[in-house]
Amino acid sequence: MLEQYDLHNILVIDIETVPQYSSHEQVPENLQVLWDLKTRHQRKDEAADTHYERAGIWAEFGKIVCISAGIFTAGKNIGLRVKSFASHDEKELLTKFCNLLFSQPANLILCAHNGKEFDFPYICRRLLVNGMPFPQQLQIAGKKPWEISHLDTMELWKFGDHKHYTSLNLLSTIFNIPTPKDDIDGSDVGRVYWQENQLERICAYCQKDVVATAQLLRRYRGEELIPDEFITIVG
């Protein structure tokens, strides 16, 4: 499976997102009204402020605080090189990430777990909000599905089953890949950011997701995991 892909032309990414404001009370009044409307179905009978900790999953009410990217390296043994772009200033980290993409071939393949539903569209939406140009690898408007160079390790696991959701943590476990969820998970990111001010911890978690996704690609191809000594975290 996936033998037709050159691993060295794949960039594995993961993003971490948080609510734009530290609490529901800090949200501007006009956005509070729109937040209430947006989440009415999900909240059911819950108050809007109790649901706000989940605001990071919506690009309209959240922001990106970290993007980690991993590229497979060549040599006697294949390796993985991971670099993160993290900042309290979303436009700053998006600029650095996009500069990386602008420096790469237009046919570079982007890969993420649940990337087609979350990571890729979220990045595109936040680029629009910040008034930024799109790198070629994120240009999907007007393209046919087979013309878009995106891989999604969750979609690949579905094998056409549209109802099937499988977490990266579960797939890592069944493929004997070291779990990235040994410290925090996605539900903790907003709290760790706004209450504990630990962006570095979020960055480390994001990097682990990239490594796990890259290792999952190896497993899908029937290949051995990359040993820890051949995984490099840059910066």
Confidence bin at 95 (pLDDT 50/70/90): very high
Which tops the pLDDT comparison, 188 or 64?
Answer: 64
Q: pLDDT value at position 150? A: 95
pLDDT for position 1: 84
pTM, to two decimals: 0.94
Kindly list the domain boundaries of the chain, sorted by start residue: 7-20+61-234
Rg over alpha carbons for the chain, rounded to the nearest Å, is: 18
What pLDDT sits at residue 16? Answer: 97
Could you tell me where the DSSP H helices lie in 4-81? 29-38, 40-43, 48-51
Residue 145: pLDDT over 90:
no
CA distance 125 to 210: 21
Q: Which contacts qualify for 41-48: CB closer than 8 Å, 24 or more apart?
A: 48/24
What is the residue-wise DSSP string for 182-226? SS--GGGHHHHHHTT--HHHHHHHHHHHHHHHHHHHHHHTT-PPP
Task: Please state which CATH class domain 7-20+61-234 belongs to.
Answer: alpha beta
